[in-house]
Chains A and B, each alone.
Chain A
């Protein structure tokens, strides 16, 4: 085949053909391009115009100031202080590692700063500025400001940081705020609140901070700013001011709270103090506590490990979440049940040999006092905490009647207090056992339930509510922590009214009888006589001991031979003044031994502080040993 280049004439013809073919291709491609341009610039013009405006004008959120948390007298429990952070806009900086290296020459950046930055970067998906260093010093601010021009997309951000001036005091009830994490973000997205939290880095995690997030957060403002691509504002176009969050005045008395915490000393445990007439929670203690300030900027690994791995479990809110057998503190309620249901009269006496046995059985349910209390009526059974009396009473009442009666007092139910995480506890019944274990109920289980052992589990808050209900003559108030809400903008104060949960169908005479016996518990001959000594007001109380480890038949519980963590928990419930109750408490001291000797003195200090004022009456020293104050 001859190639056409060898034939000039044919070559010119072929060359022209190929030129024409390409020219047609060129025109076709130009038309294609033109179609694309028409689509972009005519058909989609308004869409892209909007995008260009959105590029140019950014809506910058203005974060509202978070509401304060104060106690009922105005002591500040959570406030906001100014701090300065260094923020990087990841959208405008590609090589972040190199950038951070350069910044590290100006300000101190630790490896944990870098780790937190990476974590926050992942969580925000690189769409918004992320802090690389928090709490810059004055020198660092000055040094960066001079070099600011070298770092487009890096800025100093002034912001308010949450501070808890009382530190570990009341930490469980105040809770804390922390950085918004992915789970928080998801919850905000689901609630349609994501826009409201634009620009906000922190959210309430626990306690009041968590539960009242909606009151404390405020309403985010916004500013329309013309920006360049590095996100730097060029000029402001319009502004909507944010509305600060509301201030919360708690029902807590910070002085009382601290006095109660101090009274615990090195003991672990919980205390809840309630105003019986209103349900105001006056103190809510869980010892040991933790410093909530550690969590605000994201807790570091060492501090977290120390808190999380401690055998004392400082992060656990024992007042709401600790589950303990109530022990003998159930006895006043057992007595009320017997009177209400007509199973006992006040004068009915039993002879206590020091144990209870079912007819024809050799198994002995022992009284705490070997040899027994002799002839025991209802009054004495409360004052001396006679176990045998309640073994036989429980056997006569039956577990289901007991369950129904105790449920009215809130056992086995959440109280509905206004912070999260509360657990329900447990008061057993035959039906519960059938469902839970697919087993029948045994009579022996009823017997030990009569002295608050067995399956029964309560939280200190539940016990406090139960005793407050008794103090309030059977009218149960809903416990609550927020007393007043103050609107920051208007100064208007909204009071939270007391809420009646329910009124129990009890006879006043029965209540008075039980209260009378509880008063005698605090007097010579009673199990808490020592703690009640010298009080210029009347106290009604009941001691209790909650077994941690079971004691085998034929063996005797010996405190000194039992490992500290296996010792019994000390429980105490009380209210004062007994004739006109203003405060009701439940105290639980973990591994504290006997309610009368460890838990009751703490309650006494709380009463003294609240009713007499701090330090007016010296608190009796409980080191003086007195065996009669045995549970």
Chain B
């Protein structure tokens, strides 16, 4: 019989202390700000605690699962996610003018969320599978694997999520060694096609971009979110108004203040200093993720760790950029702070995979 101490040892061993402790700090920040943002609603906070329990469990399961075992299921998961996306396109529920949700009995799923993590895993799995015979054709195949789900999500329409999925897939291609010349060419082609893209955008998407350039143009319409969140941040100042003292969220001026715009509540109440704490903690996690990627035992492990760390940064940056008014409004939750079960579980699965890569870095022979 193992002693309690041994059990504890065995339980904690796969959990990288740096990642784990930083996650705990950020989680605590998240609960504190949720309490304030929800208007001191304990029910909502407890529901987030329940989500956290689920998320930590998922993280632990991922952390103890060796990367080569994860690798075996990445293609099936990708195929399931792709089928789900097609199903959404065919029978999905329309909500707020977009077809994003899929009903499976009692479950209400958003397959595009699943694809956010399934795509980088599948691409990494593909490059691992091709192993030493890899050549430029594999990048074409990988690009196709990337573009199919992205195209499906664009059609929902959900341009923001599609771009995030595309970026998470692109990071795998980047770490797998996509030629700098090709990337340069893509960038140039992208810039050159901007007028065409503008032409293809939906009106609401164009409006969001125009609003970004000058939110005061439409203070009660498209610019309302951005303007109110900028007022929240700006009025918070260096030290913030203090916990539970934010007027913008408490008097209901700030929309989505527990989910996508929670950073505005955080910034209003804790000020620039509070935001710095959050940003530094996020940088610690991402930097740690890069170190873990660097010491990964297989190409799959390295590619996955690199891409997931980078995706984490992307979410953080896009959300903060949107709230502070330098990026258009896209529906992206802020890691650790936003309310919501799916995003929290997805986040901790990513953290768990990073821990797994770290924990199992020496178990597989080179």
Interface residues of A (CB under 8 A from B): 3-6, 8, 11, 14-16, 18-19, 22-23, 26, 29-30, 32-34, 36-38, 40-42, 44-45, 47-49, 51-53, 55-56, 91, 126-127, 226-230, 234
Question: Please, how many angstroms separate the alpha-carbon atoms of A227 and B299 in the complex?
Answer: 58
CB of B233 within 8 Å of the partner chain? yes
Known contacts A19-B306, A23-B287; 11 further A-B pairs (Cβ under 8 A): A3-B135, A3-B177, A11-B299, A15-B175, A18-B175, A30-B283, A40-B230, A41-B233, A45-B237, A51-B234, A234-B251
A29-B317, A51-B231, A52-B247 are contacts. A37–B324 as well, Cβ < 8 Å?
Answer: yes
Are A22 and B230 neighbours in the complex by a CB distance under 8 Å?
Answer: no
Known: A15-B294, A16-B294, A36-B324. A45 touches B235 (CB 8 A): yes
- 28 contacting pairs across A/B (C-beta < 8 A): A4-B177, A5-B132, A6-B134, A15-B294, A15-B306, A16-B294, A18-B174, A19-B293, A22-B290, A22-B310, A30-B279, A30-B283, A30-B317, A33-B320, A36-B321, A37-B233, A37-B275, A41-B233, A41-B237, A42-B237, A42-B238, A45-B238, A48-B231, A49-B234, A51-B234, A51-B235, A91-B220, A230-B252
What is the minimal beta-carbon distance from B84 to any residue of chain A, in angstroms? 30
Known interface pairs A41-B237, A91-B220; A52-B272 also in contact (CB < 8 Å): no
**Contact status A49-B235, CB under 8 Å:** yes
Query: Which one of B134, B279, B306, B310 lies within 8 Å of A3 (CB-CB)?
Result: B134
A-B contact count (CB 8 A): 128
Q: Which residue of B lies closest to A22 (CB)?
A: B310
* B residues with CB within 8 A of A: 127, 131-136, 174-177, 220, 228, 230-238, 247-248, 251-253, 267, 271-272, 275-276, 279, 283, 286-287, 290, 293-294, 299, 302, 306, 310, 313, 317, 320-321, 324-326, 366
Instruction: Give A16's nearest chain B residue, CB to CB.
Output: B294
- CB-defined contacts of A8 to chain B, threshold 8 Å: 366
Q: Which residues of A contact B132 (CB under 8 A)?
A: 5-6
B228, B267, B317: the one contacting A41 at CB < 8 Å is: B267
B317 closest partner in A (C-beta)? A29
Q: Are B271 and A5 closer than 8 Å at their CB atoms?
A: no
How far is the CB of A84 from the nearest CB of chain B, in Å? 26
Q: Which of A14, A26, A48 contacts B235 (CB 8 A)?
A: A48
Q: Which residue of A lies closest to B268 (CB)?
A: A52
A228 to B39, CA, bound (A): 13
**Are A19 and B294 interface neighbours, CB within 8 A?**
yes
| Smallest Cβ-Cβ distance to A51: which chain B residue | B231
The residue of chain A having its C-beta at the shortest distance from the C-beta of B240 within the complex is A41
Q: Which residue of B lies closest to A45 (CB)?
A: B237
A495 to B164, CA, bound (A): 77
Return chain B residues, CB-CB under 8 Å to A6.
Answer: 132-134
* Contacting pair B237 A229 (CB below 8 A): no
Given the interface pairs A5-B177, A55-B251, A229-B252, the reply to whether A34 lies near B231 with Cβ below 8 Å is no
Q: Which residue of A lies closest to B248 (CB)?
A: A52
Q: How far is the CA of A3 from the CA of B230 in the complex (A)?
A: 47
**Contact indicator B321/A55 (Cβ below 8 Å):** no
Q: Is the CB of A5 within 8 A of B251?
A: no
Residues of A within 8 A of B134 (CB): 3, 5-6
Which A residues touch B321, using CB under 8 A? 33, 36
The reply to whether B299 and A55 contact each other, CB–CB distance below 8 Å, is no
Contacts of A52 in B (CB 8 A): 231-232, 234-235, 247-248
With a cutoff of 8 Å between Cβ atoms, the chain A residues found around residue B313 in the complex are 26
**Across the interface, do B267 and A37 meet the contact criterion of CB distance under 8 Å?**
yes
* CB <8 Å contact, A55 and B231: yes
- Indicate if the CB atoms of B324 and A19 lie closer than 8 Å: no
Which residues of the partner chain A approach B271 to less than 8 Å between Cβ atoms? 41
User: Are the CB atoms of B253 and A55 closer together than 8 Å?
Assistant: yes
Partner of A40, one of B175, B234, B283, B302: B234
C-alpha spacing A42/B324, complex, angstroms: 13
**Contact between B324 and A55 (Cβ–Cβ < 8 Å)?**
no
Complex Cα distance, B321 from A38, in Å, reads 13
Given A15-B175, A18-B175, verify A34-B234 contact (CB < 8 Å). Answer: no
Chain B residue with the shortest CB-CB distance to A2? B135
**Nearest Cβ in chain A — how far from B146, in angstroms?**
18
A285 to B279 CA separation, bound complex (whole angstroms):
79
Chain B neighbourhood of A30, CB < 8 A: 279, 283, 317
Q: Closest A residue to B236 by CB, please name it.
A: A41
- In the complex, residue of chain B having the shortest beta-carbon distance to the beta carbon of A33: B320
